Amino acid sequence: MAETPPAIRTFGRIRSRPIKRRQAELLDSLAPKIATPTTPFDPRALAPSAKAVWLEIGFGGGEHLAAQAARRPDVLFLGAEPFVNGVASALRHIDELALDNVRLHAGDARDLMALLPAGSLDRLFLLFPDPWPKRRHHKRRLVGPDFIEEAARILERGARLRFATDWADYADWTLERFLRSAAFDWTAQVADDWRRAPPDHVATRYEEKRLGDCAPVWLEFERR
Ligand SMILES: C[S@@+](CC[C@H](N)C(=O)[O-])C[C@H]1O[C@@H](n2cnc3c(N)ncnc32)[C@H](O)[C@@H]1O
């Protein structure tokens, strides 16, 4: 029987500096309590009173995730991030803000997505994903036909997916691939829609470093 090849790794390091004591404690105590299930599950069942379920893929240090979750206590937030220092930092934000509407997957978002039922998400954020600017690394970019198909499967009709990057080539790459998909419509009406951060955006330290080769580009797609 043919085996499915392992997914190409889309992230860089999963650990950097030593983790501070408080964050290490939270990795031991809080992380297991708010971890997403490891077998197929319906996120709506995790918080039956939540009005919606939103997912952030690659939340980095968790600043955006935590700020959005604090603003919207009526929404259940799922977050996926394999970078342990990022998860530890997100736990600190979750703890400080006493958030009870966040569940985290400390790993590859694609593993989490595979566990979710069709149409179970109302919003998805993919903000400043690893750009893999060298041509030979393009295959590591998270956005590709498989990702778009899986995002389409788990997003409810009318749900929005927000993508941002400050690498011109990754913006073109993503737009091209989403425009090719029959499952999504690009919502932009005027140039400012891709040139300006949406009003509900919360900037992160990573984003403010402006490591890319262009001003941030904002792409918002709606599930058909
Ligand atoms: C460039 S950083 C940006 C972090 C954050 N979104 C921000 O804007 O501050 C990209 C992040 O995506 C994460 N990442 C890459 N591939 C991923 C995957 N398959 N699943 C989840 N996270 C991923 C990386 O570990 C990294 O922390």
pLDDT digits over 102-121, tens only?
999 999 999 999 999 999 99
Nearest to 58 by CA among 116, 106, 123: 106
Alpha carbons 218 and 195: distance in angstroms, whole number: 6
Q: Which two tokens stand for residue 92?
A: 């600190």
Give the number of C-alpha atoms closer than 13 A to the C-alpha of residue 166, restricted to the C-beta side. Answer: 14
Cα 81 to averaged position of ligand 1 atoms, centre (Å): 6
Q: Relative to the CA of 127, which ligand 1 atom is closest?
A: 6
Q: Is the CB of 140 under 6 A from ligand 1?
A: no
Which pLDDT value is given to residue 165?
A: 98
Catalytic residue among 28, 95, 108, 130: 130
Is 74 among the residues known to form the active site? no
Give, in degrees to the nearest 5, the angle at Cα 45 between 39 and 48.
160
The share of the chain scoring above pLDDT 70, in percent, equals: 98
pTM of the model: 0.97
